[in-house]
């Protein structure tokens, strides 16, 4: 058994912490706005203007979400050791690390890590992939539904009737559009919308699972995971496995 100690370590840098809380906030807001759009009729929201307004708000929040995600993806290559993808994405030696962690957990004295533990690393990868799917499908639907950047002008040009200025097209209004081209775009954008909705449901499940696992980890392993995402510092009782990693 390793000797118990109480030592504080600086782990999460400021950009990583900012990403975490901006991502958490925007995802919750996007889910809220998405649910409003899905159940707008049940809420008595029936006018076209209200429908467009909900979509615009959803998209504007989405821009913040996407920008924040892009910054984090880049930061994974230039941030501190614990923020880097090389220390998060499972690679060589991961299987042995995971096995050792699971064994220590079964023995009642889980290994402690400065960065993410082996299961946490896997969870981060799944969450980040889900966020990227949400970002791509969301941007496509922003372009096809309300002609917003970065793809909106291209989609508007594709569906505009001959002689009609694409910039004059209005969201959810077929005036000035070519019916055949609109039908084709509808078939194109449909799968993106379905993937967007299903991924958002999966993301809601991941959020609940993440909260449950954080609580469990705090109780079983300690480390102050929640406070560390504010202060950047972890307080551990034993020498971390990745101290010199």
- Binned at pLDDT 50, 70 and 90, residue 6 comes out as confident
**pLDDT tens for each residue of 114-169:** 999 999 999 999 999 999 999 999 999 999 999 999 999 999 999 999 999 999 99
- Binned at pLDDT 50, 70 and 90, residue 213 comes out as confident
Mean pLDDT, residues 56-72 taken together: 98
Residue 241, pLDDT score: 85
The first and second tokens of residue 146, run together, are: 């309300």
Residue 221, pLDDT score: 67
Residue 245, pLDDT score: 67
Please say if the pLDDT value at position 3 is more than 60: no
Residue 236, pLDDT score: 85
Cβ atoms within 10 Å of 7's Cβ, excluding its own? 11
Could you tell me the pTM of the whole model?
0.91
Residue 5, pLDDT score: 61
Helix H or strand E segment including 210: helix 179-220
The answer to which of 37-41, 53-57, 190-194 has the lowest mean pLDDT is 37-41
Domain boundaries, the chain: 7-236
Residue 1, pLDDT score: 45
**Residue found by looking up tokens 């449950």 in the block:** 212
**pLDDT tens for each residue of 195-212:** 999 999 999 999 999 888
Task: State phi, psi for 177 to the nearest 5 degrees.
Answer: -105, 160
Q: Domain 7-236, CATH 1.20.950.20 — does that match?
A: yes
E strands, the chain, are 7-10, 233-236
Please say if the pLDDT value at position 2 is more than 60: no
User: What is d(CA 6, CA 61) in angstroms, rounded to the nearest whole number?
Assistant: 41
Alpha-carbon torsion (104, 105, 110, 114), positive or negative: positive
């Amino acid at each position: 058994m390793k000797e118990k100690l109480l030592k504080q370590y600086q782990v999460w840098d400021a950009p990583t912490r900012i990403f975490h809380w901006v991502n958490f906030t925007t995802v919750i807001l996007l889910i809220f706005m998405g649910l409003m759009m899905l159940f707008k009729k049940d809420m008595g929201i029936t006018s076209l203007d209200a429908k467009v307004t909900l979509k615009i708000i959803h998209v504007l929040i989405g821009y913040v979400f996407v920008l924040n995600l892009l910054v984090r993806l880049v930061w994974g290559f230039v941030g501190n050791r614990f923020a880097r993808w090389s220390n998060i994405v499972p690679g060589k030696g991961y299987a042995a690390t995971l096995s050792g962690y699971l064994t220590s957990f079964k023995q009642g004295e889980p290994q402690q890590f400065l960065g993410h533990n082996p299961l946490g690393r896997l969870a981060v990868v799944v969450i980040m992939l889900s966020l990227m799917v949400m970002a791509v499908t969301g941007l496509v639907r922003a372009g096809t539904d309300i002609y917003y950047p970065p793809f909106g002008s291209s989609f508007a040009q594709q569906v505009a009737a001959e002689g009609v200025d694409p910039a004059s097209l209005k969201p959810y209004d077929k005036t000035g559009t070519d019916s055949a081209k609109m039908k084709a775009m509808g078939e194109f954008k449909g799968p993106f919308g379905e993937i967007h909705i299903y991924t958002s449901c999966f993301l809601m499940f991941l959020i609940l699972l993440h909260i449950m696992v954080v609580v469990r980890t705090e109780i079983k392993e300690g480390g102050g995971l929640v406070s560390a995402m504010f202060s950047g510092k972890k307080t551990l009782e034993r020498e971390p496995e990745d101290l010199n990693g």
